[in-house]
């Protein structure tokens, strides 16, 4: 069993919160503050409870070395703006300076540590490093769902040394929403999966197929299934080495009585940089062209099923959505899902980015902040960051 932050006594205590502030930066400023905003309910709750709050996160991949461009300082500035308060930036994760910053914190005030991954000990789940992080506070809270699938010092090792441990509100929302997909989802339950590669998502496909009534596959991922069926794909992105995986999935679907829907028409062009295109049936892809999006007939086919679903999980764009006009299929499917009155969850870095850029986030029941973490959760794997909170 794990406890959520509102189930333990945190009043006037020092709390160490592992947040996921791994945000995109542009010219030294936070380019998208979604992940920071996602942690605000927990931070505000701690302020209300007069806690002394120590926040820690990783940012990017500094590979265990200090890198000025990956400092959390701009993140601290953004957080200060969002909360309209001062934040103490500790400039490090270890050392007497950090200890002093924490000791000198007033109740209701926040200190932000420097990028945890400036230390190789973080990703190595080093015991001493974990112990030091735990020593800063009386309570450890994990709010970093996006890194919950990693057993790092701040997400895993630290919990062993924590006097009290719990999950924050964002973590709670992620666990509850994703669990709903796995435990008695309302039927019909449809998974819409797209993206680039089938090999990277075969585990989640093999797992989700046991839960859904219909599996809709689009994007380049569908090419591997079409290729396995013998369709000529031209220059389209596909993984011939994964055709056996694709065939296995189709057989499993048959065995379980799950319907798999694939694109019936696609938007083809000579290259991703060429915006002139034509729409062809999947049995008619010219050998010098590549499929970059699903076609209108496919959008119609998929949307009709989506309209009737009670539960929908979506991961993976339907095409090369970064390059208009090849974003249309993804846009239409995102709209169809967001118009559903059912329980709708979107997960995955690119899919969530697509939903956000279309301004549709508010129309999904849950927009998962975890890419890899949400997929591993749906595979039924125990995530180390959640497991470590077990009491
Ligand atoms: P997510 O991050 O949501 O899990 P993925 O990383 O699996 O999604 O896949 C996203 C990528 O797949 C995007 O970069 C998108 O351009 C690419 N993609 C989808 N369909 C196609 C296609 N038909 N051709 C080329 N790339 C595609
Ligand atoms: Mg991605």
pLDDT given for residue 371 in this prediction? 85
Q: How far is the CA of 349 from the centre of ligand 2 (A)?
A: 5
pLDDT given for residue 370 in this prediction? 86
* 329 included as an active-site residue: no
Q: How far is the CA of 371 from the centre of ligand 2 (A)?
A: 7
CB neighbour list of residue 151: distance below 8 Å, 6 or more residues apart: 125, 157, 384, 385, 388
Asked if 213 and 259 count as a contact pair (C-beta separation under 8 A), the reply is yes
* 319 included as an active-site residue: no
Of 196, 217, 270, 328, the one to substitute when testing ligand 1's pocket (max ligand atoms within 8 A of C-beta) is: 196
Cβ of 320 less than 6 Å from ligand 1: yes
Cβ of 195 less than 6 Å from ligand 1: yes
pLDDT given for residue 319 in this prediction? 98
Q: Which ligand 1 atom sits nearest the alpha carbon of residue 236?
A: 24
pLDDT given for residue 369 in this prediction? 87
pLDDT given for residue 78 in this prediction? 98
Asked if 291 and 266 count as a contact pair (C-beta separation under 8 A), the reply is yes
Q: What is the value of pTM for the model shown? A: 0.92
pLDDT given for residue 20 in this prediction? 96
User: End-to-end alpha-carbon separation of the chain, Å?
Assistant: 6
Mean pLDDT by 10 residues, the chain (391 residues): 98 98 95 94 98 98 97 98 98 96 98 98 98 98 96 98 98 97 96 94 94 97 96 96 95 98 98 97 98 98 98 97 97 98 94 93 94 92 97 94
Q: How far is the CA of 10 from the centre of ligand 1 (A)?
A: 43
* 35 included as an active-site residue: yes
* 349 included as an active-site residue: yes
**Full strand arrangement of the beta sheet holding 278-281:** 278-281, 265-269, 290-294
């Amino acid at each position: 069993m794990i406890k959520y932050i509102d189930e333990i006594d945190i009043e006037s205590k020092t709390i160490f919160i592992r947040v996921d502030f791994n945000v995109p930066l542009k010219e030294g400023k936070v380019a998208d503050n979604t992940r920071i905003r996602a942690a605000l309910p927990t931070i505000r709750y701690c302020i209300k409870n007069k806690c002394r709050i120590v926040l820690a996160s990783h940012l990017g991949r500094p590979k265990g070395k200090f890198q000025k461009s990956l400092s959390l300082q701009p993140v601290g500035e953004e957080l200060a703006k969002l909360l309209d308060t001062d934040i103490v930036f500790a400039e490090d994760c270890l050392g007497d300076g950090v200890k002093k910053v924490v000791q000198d914190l007033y109740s209701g005030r926040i200190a932000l540590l420097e990028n945890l991954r400036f230390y190789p000990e973080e990703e190595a789940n080093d015991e001493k490093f974990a112990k030091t992080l735990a020593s800063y506070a009386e309570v450890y809270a994990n709010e970093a769902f996006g890194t919950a699938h990693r057993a790092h010092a701040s997400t895993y090792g630290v919990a062993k040394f924590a006097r009290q441990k719990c999950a924050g509100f964002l973590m709670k929302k992620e666990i509850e929403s994703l669990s709903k997909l796995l435990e008695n989802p309302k039927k019909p339950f449809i998974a819409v999966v797209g993206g680039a590669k089938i090999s990277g998502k075969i585990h989640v496909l093999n797992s989700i197929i046991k839960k859904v009534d219909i599996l809709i596959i689009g994007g380049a991922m569908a090419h591997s299934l079409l290729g396995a069926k013998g369709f000529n794909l031209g220059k389209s992105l596909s993984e011939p080495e994964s055709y056996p995986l694709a065939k296995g999935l189709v057989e499993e679907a048959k065995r379980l009585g799950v319907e798999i829907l694939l694109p019936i028409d696609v938007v083809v062009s000579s290259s991703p940089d060429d915006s002139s295109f034509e729409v062809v049936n999947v049995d008619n892809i010219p050998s010098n062209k590549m499929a970059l999006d699903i076609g209108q007939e496919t959008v119609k086919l998929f949307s009709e099923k989506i309209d009737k679903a009670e539960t929908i999980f979506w991961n993976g764009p339907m095409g090369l959505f970064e390059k208009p006009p090849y974003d249309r299929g993804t846009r239409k499917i995102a709209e169809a899902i967001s118009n559903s009155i059912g329980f709708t969850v979107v997960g995955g870095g690119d899919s969530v980015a697509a939903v956000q850029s279309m301004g549709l986030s508010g129309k999904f029941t849950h927009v998962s902040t975890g890419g890899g973490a949400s997929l591993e959760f749906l595979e039924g794997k125990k995530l180390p960051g959640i497991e470590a909170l077990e009491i």
